[in-house]
Amino acid sequence: MGGGPISPSSKPIPNAPLTLRRATIDDLDDITCIAVNGSPDDPGTDYRFPYRDKYPDDFWKWTRIEHEELFERPDKLVILVVTAPVLDDGEVVHQPVSYGVWDLKITSDFIPGDHGIHERRDANKKHMEAYAKALPSGLKKYFKQFGAEQIPLWEVVTHPDFRRRGAASMICEWGQKEADKDGKSLSLLATPMGKGLYLKLGYHVLGSVVVQVEGEEERVVVDAMIKHNKSKSEEIDPLDPAFAASILQFAQIISVKQKSILIQHTGSMQRQTILAAK
């Protein structure tokens, strides 16, 4: 368990080593704090939640619910936190300062909730819907060729006060070790801020996913990136039902998991389901 949400009284200890570990549900408030403070650097946050400063309680509430759902699937998702020793009211505590989510198991039964799209006041509903429509198409376009032989990184966020200390790299290195076991590739959607790190770690850009409401100039662009660990001689079937389910779930998480507007799917997903996403 961490030292509680980062507060103005928490003071980093210079040059103190960071520690990587599995997250538990006790870390939920810390993770929510990191997301609320760290995600505004993602252009998609301003795009979808432009009123979060006016309605901070809504932004906190639904961000917490979003991440709480992740802990319900320990068989599928690995949630990691990086902690740093800090002084909090004179006491040294190991405070979570960064977190990441890796998807290690392809399943077809993970359907997130809508996370308040029809009631939260901090959001631009049209922009949330645009995310939900654009990402499944983009993920299918760039990642279907790798089939189930990939490990998606759903998100990495570091608290602004603890950046450039290697926390995000530690989370990425954990995924690299998992991928090395089976020679799988690593896939992700990168924000402009994170792109430089992923390029440094050996990822390359496959293309861009553009999120834009028709008739508007405002848009968000994210890069689809991949890192290969070994060549595959066999051809991967992009219409494999399990892979189709995984891609749709990946899209759901990144687009705030809106069940009411996302593509719905079941464990018996058939070939026409993935074709319908075109």
pLDDT, one tens digit per residue, over 147-196 is 889 999 999 999 999 999 999 999 999 999 999 999 999 999 999 989 99
Distance separating alpha carbons of residues 220 and 47, to the nearest angstrom: 7
pLDDT at residue 217, rounded to an integer: 96
CA distances from 107 to 73, 160, 166, 189, 267 (A): 10, 34, 31, 20, 8
CA dihedral 110→72→81→78, nearest 10 degrees, is -50
**Positive or negative, the Cα torsion across 20, 5, 61, 191?**
negative
Which spans in the chain are helix H? 28-38, 43-48, 56-70, 125-143, 167-182, 192-200, 241-254, 271-275
- What residue type is 135 in one-letter code? L
Contact 18, 165 (CB under 8 A): yes
β-pair partners for 209: 222
Q: Residues near 14 by Cβ (< 8 Å), separated by ≥ 6?
A: none
Q: What is the DSSP string of 27-54?
A: GHHHHHHHHHHHGGGSHHHHHH-TTTTT
Distance separating alpha carbons of residues 44 and 269, to the nearest angstrom: 30
pLDDT at residue 177, rounded to an integer: 96
Contact 108, 267 (CB under 8 A): yes
Q: What is the DSSP-derived secondary structure letter of residue 209?
A: E
pLDDT at residue 105, rounded to an integer: 79
Per-residue pLDDT of the chain (278 residues; tens, 9 = 90+): 344 456 655 788 888 899 999 999 999 999 999 999 998 888 999 999 999 999 999 999 999 999 999 999 998 899 999 999 999 888 899 999 999 999 997 665 556 666 688 899 999 999 999 988 898 888 889 988 888 899 999 999 999 999 999 999 999 999 999 999 999 999 999 999 899 999 999 999 999 999 999 999 999 999 999 999 864 444 455 555 555 666 666 555 555 444 433 333 333 333 333 333 33
β-pair partners for 19: 83
Backbone angles phi, psi at 25, to 5 degrees: -60, -25
Q: Which domains does the chain have, with CATH numbers?
A: 10-275 (3.40.630.30)
CA distances from 152 to 23, 72, 231 (A): 18, 18, 18
State the maximum Cα–Cα separation within the chain, in Å, rounded to a whole number. Answer: 60
Which residue, chain included where needed, has tokens 């802990």? 71
